Amino acid sequence: MGGEETESGYSIHTHDVIIIGAGLTGLRAAIETVDAGLDTAVISKVHPLRSHSVAAQGGMNAALGNVQAGDSWEDHAFDTVKGSDYLADQDAVELMCKNAPGAVIELEHFGTVFSRQEDGRIAQRSFGGGMFPRTCYAADRTGHNILHTLYEQLMGRELEQSKGSKSGGKITFYEEFFVTSLVKAGVSSEGKSPEQGERCVGCTCLNLADRTLHGFACRALLLATGGFGRLFTRSTNALINTGDGASLALRAGIPLKDMEFVQFHPTTLYGTNILITEGARGEGGYLLNNKNERFMKAYAPKSMELAPRDIVARSIQPEIDAGRGFDDKYVLLDLQHLGKDKIMERLPGIRLISMDFAGVDPIEEPIPVQPGQHYSMGGIAVGNDLATELPGLYAAGECSCVSVHGANRLGGNSLLETVVFGKLAGQGIGKTLSSSGSGVRVREEDEKAVLEKLSEEDERIKALLARDSGVKMAGLRDELKKLMFESFGVFREGKKMEEGLEKLRELKSRYPEVYIDNKSIVFNQALIYALELRGLFDIAEAVARGAIARNESRGSHARTDYPDRDDENFLAHTVYRLEGRGAEGKLDGKPVLEYQPVRLGKFPVKERVY
């Protein structure tokens, strides 16, 4: 992995395909590009098996109908579209739901150890918004199982190649490499101006181990960088979920879509906000207030605890506000009636989390829970082929918005999205590159563009490290996260958001003075946090501006001053970009908001009743 050292001392690596992100999306895509015979590099800022996908608990949806006959991809698609509050693009939903059963079977053949029914078939449980046992799971460690399986698949391919027993592509992992920017270049050979013929030709990276800068040149690049949960104080997300991919794309001139739609999960453990899977309610868990009432009957009488997440999250807060919570902060999730055996078999991880982090054994006591940020429905704008508007640049998984989740994602549909669209992205890239001829080399001028960018990034990082005073990174980051939770949280209101945006702009203006005390060359995590923070500001503004402009309530976006859905004006995707290609690198590119029609289909737009 040493790459080629240039005169200026940077290492340059060339590959056909670069995949940024080693979660389920990135690894699933890599299997396809390697199998298509392409030289593939996977870059990740942590070891692949520490990607947030590993933390997924509850499961993955597919209309297998194993527990109860009569399920169909159409029913799955309908539940998804209704759950999305009709903002999802119906052709994308169709693509995902049709591919779901095949995706689960394929994972099983790869080696995923799904939980089983008595008759040996894959077990399924009910998740919110479906009210049908459609979610396949591996106890409450589904992501862990699938991520290890996909990693094994790639390790297997690597081993076969090293022994020369398999023809085909190559896989190289760059672990603990942090991507700092994307590189674009013009196709000058076609005589077009760079703007016209521009494509994505690579990226720049910081090697965490020794702080060296590396350049990567490629023929196609896939962003699979996950969500941005850590923009908010209370989040179920891993610390690494800082939305870097969305900000890299934004700075490369690519628009983000539907960024105001942020999911707050109803049941995160009070105190730490570690996720308590929806599977706990899927297995029959109750939500209780301090009157010992299953309060969901007042909010979603039909679906109760299995209403979609946005609705359950919005039911908990009023209970607490009305004095029916505990310590004015949380409600209870009661599993005791499920019995020890079921809890031990189906929810062993949840039991351990509750005992270790709240001192509560759910076999004997209810779990204290409160809503917390969980998922980003919005992301990098892509079509159903996962291509962005910049040739050569693709995005898939949680960092993208192919728009299968619309205004609210159903539990179990994200793992599904990662494997279905990860695979399609890999296949698409495989086809595109093979059609331009196998063995085509990365062009010299692309490598030159990467080198130029490297020296810019070098300057930026050196300047940051050279500052010994100014604004403390951690303090600024904490202020931002608190602001986002308070002003753009479960409930939103126009004036409060306007004030929030003003404060956000003020915080952002302090970023150029950020400094860190840690100047170490080896694993300088403070430096990574400081680089991530610039991206968090980009994303915060996209969320804030999208939310302020959307004068309606839809899915996760709940405006107290506009409580109704407004299909006449807002049955549309928000598209946010920084104006002009000159936005690259600048902290203050002019934000522009536009709207795009939703692609409707066989399901007519209706009220959501649960």
CA 134 vs CA 5, 267, 303, 492: distances in Å: 52, 20, 15, 32
Residue from 36, 46, 358, 578 touching ligand FAD (CB under 6 A): that is 46
Strand ranges inside 533-603, DSSP E: 572-578, 591-597
Sheet holding 379-381, edge to edge: 400-401, 379-381, 256-257, 572-578, 591-597
CA 590 vs CA 321, 329, 538, 587, 593: distances in Å: 39, 39, 11, 9, 10
Does residue number 418 form part of the binding site for ligand FAD (CB under 6 A)?
A: yes
Q: Which is nearer to ligand FAD, 138 or 187 (CB)?
A: 138
Q: How far apart are CA 367 and CA 397, in angstroms?
A: 31
Cβ neighbours of 383 (radius 10 Å): 13
Does residue number 236 form part of the binding site for ligand FAD (CB under 6 A)?
A: yes
Q: What are phi and psi of 347, to 5 degrees?
A: -130, 45
Does residue number 179 form part of the binding site for ligand FAD (CB under 6 A)?
A: yes
Q: What's the min distance (Å) between Cβ of 166 and ligand FAD?
A: 25
Q: How far apart are the first and last CA of the chain?
A: 53
Residue 309: active-site member: yes
Residue from 79, 398, 447, 541 touching ligand FAD (CB under 6 A): that is 398
Does residue number 124 form part of the binding site for ligand FAD (CB under 6 A)?
A: no
Q: Which is nearer to ligand FAD, 46 or 252 (CB)?
A: 46
Does residue number 20 form part of the binding site for ligand FAD (CB under 6 A)?
A: yes
Q: Which is nearer to ligand FAD, 221 or 483 (CB)?
A: 221
Does residue number 413 form part of the binding site for ligand FAD (CB under 6 A)?
A: yes
Q: What's the min distance (Å) between Cβ of 237 and ligand FAD?
A: 5
Does residue number 216 form part of the binding site for ligand FAD (CB under 6 A)?
A: no
Task: Identify the active-site residue in 157, 309, 545, 565.
Answer: 309
Does residue number 556 form part of the binding site for ligand FAD (CB under 6 A)?
A: no
Structure tokens at 351: 């039991």
Residue from 66, 237, 289, 384 touching ligand FAD (CB under 6 A): that is 237
Residue with tokens 């409450």: 140
Q: How far apart are CA 377 and CA 404, in angstroms?
A: 9
495: which residues sit within 8 A by CB, 6+ positions away? 561
Does residue number 142 form part of the binding site for ligand FAD (CB under 6 A)?
A: yes
CA 102 vs CA 105, 106, 144, 153, 412: distances in Å: 5, 6, 20, 17, 15
Does residue number 130 form part of the binding site for ligand FAD (CB under 6 A)?
A: no
Comparing C-alpha atoms, which of 188, 370, 198 is closest to residue 273?
A: 370
- Give the number of residues in contact with ligand FAD, rule: CB under 6 A: 45
Residue from 30, 36, 39, 45 touching ligand FAD (CB under 6 A): that is 45
Q: What's the min distance (Å) between Cβ of 602 and ligand FAD?
A: 24
> Which region, judged by CB under 6 A, interacts with ligand FAD, from 21-29, 87-95, 377-385, 479-487?
21-29
Residue from 17, 29, 34, 43 touching ligand FAD (CB under 6 A): that is 43
- Residues interacting with ligand FAD, by CB under 6 A? 20-26, 43-46, 51-53, 55-60, 142-143, 178-179, 224-227, 236-237, 240-241, 244-245, 275, 277, 375, 397-399, 412-415, 418
Active site residues: 309
